[in-house]
Amino acid sequence: MVKCPVLSSLPLARCLLTEKTLRIGYLVLILAVSAGFSLALAGETLPSPAGEVILTISGNIERSNGSGIAALDREMLERIGKRTIRTTTAWTDGVKAFEGPLMRDVLAFVGAHGTSVKATALNDYVVEIPVADFEKYDVILALRMDGRDLHPADKGPIWIVYPRDQFSELQTPRYDERWCWQLTRLVVQ
């Protein structure tokens, strides 16, 4: 009878079974640790904003910086990314250059899961926008227009901007109503 080199009292067949079981056990342990790490990241706390909060995001989000709400200042939004859209609007003259993060990147940053976003402005204007818009088009949260920070007097601090001139279907009242300016709050549904 051939004996197991690891445990000399076991027959070789049981030793191989034991080694296989150990390998499976290690694999299960590695997967469990990895899954736990992924879950920890999903529920990760966002840093607190250093400046004035200009946007809050709540609803179906995984990451927040307190009480299930992601409170973001300008600097946090700028760190998510910057995209420039040059387009006309129904409210301004000529082509304007808008800068800000892509809406889909902002939603990914907070771990959003949903089919729509309810956007609310300073004046309590509310519009529901399908998340599919953010996947199909490069919609941005504009923080600047023509190189200048947006303020409430000029539709800021944040304006939802669609790449209107790139897609004829975006040049309709249906999409115009989704251009929420003076944006302060998003609720992911």
The CB density around residue 40, as the number of other CB atoms within 10 Å, is: 9
**126 shares a domain with 34:** no
Q: What is the DSSP string of 176-187?
A: HTT--BSEEEEE
**57 shares a domain with 2:** no
Give domain status of residue 48, yes or no: no
Q: In DSSP terms, which residues pair with 56 in a beta bridge?
A: 71, 185
**94 shares a domain with 11:** no
User: Closest Cα to residue 143, out of 50, 76, 57, 70?
Assistant: 76
Q: According to the model, what pLDDT value does residue 68 have?
A: 94
Distance from first CA to last CA of the chain, Å, rounded?
Answer: 66
Our count of domains for the chain comes to 2
Q: Cα(74)–Cα(149) distance, rounded to whole angstroms?
A: 10
**159 shares a domain with 86:** yes
Q: According to the model, what pLDDT value does residue 23 have?
A: 52
Residues 6+ apart with CB under 8 A from 157: 54, 74, 143, 149, 150, 151, 182, 183
Q: According to the model, what pLDDT value does residue 106 have?
A: 98
Rounded to whole angstroms, what are the CA distances from 32 to 36, 37, 42, 45, 93? 6, 9, 15, 22, 57
Give domain status of residue 47, yes or no: no
Residue 107, domain CATH: 3.90.420.10
Task: Output the tens digit of pLDDT for each of the chain's 189 residues.
Answer: 555 554 555 555 554 445 554 454 444 434 433 333 333 344 579 999 999 999 999 999 999 998 999 999 999 999 999 999 999 999 999 999 999 999 999 999 999 999 999 999 999 999 999 999 999 999 999 999 999 999 999 999 999 999 999 999 999 999 999 999 999 999 999
